[in-house]
Amino acid sequence: MDDSAAGNDLLEKLRALMRGGAGGGGPERERPPTQLKSFDIEGIAEFIKSDACKEIIVMTGAGLSTAAGIPDFRSPSTGLYANLQKYNLDSPESIFSIEFFETNPKPFYALAKELYPGKFRPTLSHYFIRLLAEKGYLKRIYTQNIDTLERIAGVPGDRIIEAHGSFAAAHCIRCKEEYTQKWVKDKVFADEIPTCTICEGTVKPDIVFFGESLPSHFHDNIRPDFSACNLLIVMGTSLVVHPFASLIGRVDYGCPRLLINREPAGQAHAFNLSGFEFDSDDNHRDVFHKDDCDIGCLKLADLLGWKEELEALVSREHARIDAEDPDPAPSDKPASEKEGAKEAAKDTDKAQDAKDTDKAQDAADGGASHTETAEATKSDSATAATSPAKPDASSTEAKVAPKDVPAAKH
């Protein structure tokens, strides 16, 4: 037996033990009946249309914002990476180390100036999440991203959990005095290090750095949210950063789960029995749709009958954002407002045509938490920031002082 076969055999035995069978000390837990007519995105669409789907949780990573043109500061091919080399960092990720920031905040703010909120527009995927909210399906979105694009897209603030924080507010790392996003941004764009007016400590945006605990509202909402979830949609993440990655196992055993990603992620193994079981004989709920987030969301919207509404929403909102900021970053401004959505639609149609052709050819041939702190990550950590939407009463921005001065101390 090779290592792969041995590993699969061990995994099946562990699954049996978890179910209570194979000498596990009790009757085997009965596998709940599947709620999906098919284990593909079409099956997910049919489930959303049913009366059984009322509370959807969305989990997102850096892949959701790729189409917005947000550059990767870790890539040697970008100017951002080259600009950071003068600081002699041990690694690009060092700028998100709280220990490093406390001694030298300059590299972080050099990066922040290039990636600060205000340069990028939400993607089609962000607006799909907004539609889920407007149509009464969205229980919550849990995001690893710090770019605030969900807020800009108009997703209600009380539906957003920014697991790794965001630029929406800032605090002095010494006395905890609170500052507005605009106050900090003005300092950054004046090439100044934001310094507390009370104690002269360094002011840091409320982004979770490596070595800091995740926000309390992340932990407070997990149990009530995931216990009520009817459908889990995961997009644009490699699911390697804990405790965020472990959330996919917090839904009910019978809850359908959809991953829209370029590659499979979060799959079950000997040390993660609650992971996705796309290829397992035991699979009764998990669907993997291989695609970019935007193309996958447009495909799902089409199946739900929302495609035209989504494309119109993207066009309308991008026009509004451009009117407010007439000089957005060149990388995120398409030739026309509908061009991005049209191209995604073309890709979706081509993929479906290819799929239909393959089926026809087959027929012709005769075939038919392990930690409570932010962990270092190579693919999901600290995505670049973008400008926040107008906050609602429950958002973080609404709780800070409305003027461009420090908030009053409590």
Which of residues 159 and 70 earns the better pLDDT score?
159
For residue 5, pLDDT beyond 80: no
For the segment 333-391, what is each residue's pLDDT rounded down to a tens digit? 333 333 444 444 445 455 455 545 444 444 444 333 333 334 333 334 333 333 333 33
For residue 13, pLDDT beyond 70: no
Q: Which tokens is 81 given?
A: 């990476």
Residue 184: predicted pLDDT: 94
Q: Where are the alpha helices (DSSP H) in 88-155?
A: 98-103, 106-115, 124-134, 149-152
Which of residues 69 and 249 earns the better pLDDT score?
249
Q: Where are the beta strands (DSSP E) in 45-186?
A: 56-60, 138-143, 160-162, 165-172, 178-180
Give 333-336's long-range contacts (Cβ < 8 A, gap of 24+).
Answer: 333/121
Sheet containing 231-235: give its strands across.
160-162, 138-143, 56-60, 231-235, 257-261, 286-290
Report how far residue 163's alpha carbon sits from residue 178's, in angstroms, rounded to the nearest whole number. 19
Cis amide leading into 76 (omega within 30): no
Report how far residue 113's alpha carbon sits from residue 194's, in angstroms, rounded to the nearest whole number. 12
Residue 164 known to be catalytic = yes
Q: How confident is the model at residue 6 (pLDDT cuts 50, 70, 90)?
A: low
For residue 94, pLDDT beyond 90: no
Q: How confident is the model at residue 76 (pLDDT cuts 50, 70, 90)?
A: low
Catalytic: which of 126, 164, 171, 318?
164
